[in-house]
Structures are given as C-alpha cells and as structure tokens.
Amino acid sequence: MTDMPGGEMAHRPVHFFWLIDASGSMAVDGKIQQLNFAVREALPEMRRVADDNASAQLLVRAVTFASGARWHVPRPTLVSDFQWPDVSAGGTTDLGDALRLVAAELNTPPMPQRAMKPVLALVSDGQPTDDWQSGLDAVDATPWGKRAVRVAISIGRDCDRGVLRRFLGNPELEPFEANSPKQLAAAIRWASTAVVKSASMPAQGNPAAARSLPQMAPLDDDSDVW
C-alpha cells in the first residue's frame, strides 16, 4: 500500500460473474447459439475497457444453470486471458442453485477485503424451477453481494421479468429485454462494457447507489423472433 493519491486503488480486482440460463428452452430458436456468439463477440470490447482502466483488474468467471448449476468457467480469469467455452442447453431452470454457488464466492474470503464492486450479470429466458428466493437471500446476505452491480437480461417473451427485477434489487432498474439476436448481442456488449465501467468507479458507501447503472439506449429492431 502507498499513501500516494490513488495508490490504494491501484490494481484492485473487479470480479465479473456471468449467470447463464442453460435450460432446455434456450435450445429453441437458436437462443443458446446466439448467446455463445454474443459473449465471444463482446470480449474484445471488454478487454479494451479493462485496458483503459489502469486501477482495475478485471477477472471473469461463469456459472450455468439448468437441472442444477455448475461452474462453466470456475476460476477468476483475467479478461486478457479469458476464452468463452460454448454452453449447451437442456434441463430445467435451477436459478437458486446458481445464486447459491455465486454467494459462496462473495464472502471474505474467498473475496479479498479490498476490491471494487463485483458484477453479477444474469441472463435467462424462462421461469425458475427451484427455490430461487433462498438463493437470492444467500447472495444478499454476503457483504460483497450487497454491494454488487447487478444487470439482468431477459430473453424472449416467456421470461419471468418479475424474478429478474427482484434480482436487480433496485426499483429504478429494469431488466433489458432481448427479443431477437440483435438485441441480445447489444445487451451482452452493454453488460460487458458499461456495467464494468460502473463497477470500476469508487464506492459511495451506499449499497443502493452501488447498483445504479448507466441506461442502455433503446435499440430499433423489427426482427421479433423470440
């Protein structure tokens, strides 16, 4: 540590968690293929944002949930080294299991005492089939879960947006609606860049303020395929 201005903030980690719905409905109409493509295409911009912020060290990992949940990318990986393994779809929608996996990582330890706000990015196209509320409670009970910047992307018309609003934990925020491949790609890029920038800003000491986000510009898209 140093007493120089900005010294304590140098190279503090930003932990970015993807929570990806891999249930059977994601196999319909090519949604899972479009999601895989969108995440891979967003990585160069995500790396650029990390390069532009010398005070932050962006670390990415991912959880998928279907019938149960598992780590898709288990280790916090520098975004410069991060590669996206394709997700396949099948099974139910056990969101609660995914939230409990992430909650276990939001305590200190394993999270460091000094870090920037983590990012929780939830992408789903359906309705949870397990006790998702207890999973959300587990996240909210952790010190870093309370401070996390949260973003939710709903895919298609059948997604339970009420659940996503509860996940966001801020009445001023709404999940982004992705009803086509073009909208999904835009939402993934937004979550990978604007949300990371928000997390990299100094905390204000207010958990609700920590969840405030820049708004994504509306996207004109007539291809309503989902």
pLDDT in tens, the chain (226 residues): 333 334 444 578 999 999 999 999 999 999 999 999 999 999 999 999 999 988 889 999 999 999 999 999 999 999 999 999 999 999 999 999 999 999 999 999 999 988 999 999 999 999 999 999 999 999 999 999 999 999 999 999 889 999 999 999 999 899 999 999 999 999 999 999 888 888 776 544 444 444 445 555 555 555 667 8
Tell me the two tokens of residue 94: 């056990």
9-201 CATH: 3.40.50.410
Q: Taking the CA atoms of the chain, what radius of gyration do you get in angstroms? A: 17
CA distance 7 to 104: 29
Within a 13 Å sphere around the CA of 72, how many CA atoms are in the beta-carbon half? 25
All structural domains of the chain with their residue ranges = 9-201
pLDDT in tens, 95-124: 999 999 999 999 999 999 889 999 999 999
Answer for the pair 98, 64: CB distance below 8 angstroms, yes or no: yes
Q: Which residues of 109-120 are buried (b: 16+ CB within 10 A; e: fewer)?
A: eebeeebbbbbb
Residue-level pLDDT at 205: 44
pLDDT in tens, 39-68: 999 999 999 999 998 888 999 999 999 999
CA distance 201 to 56: 9
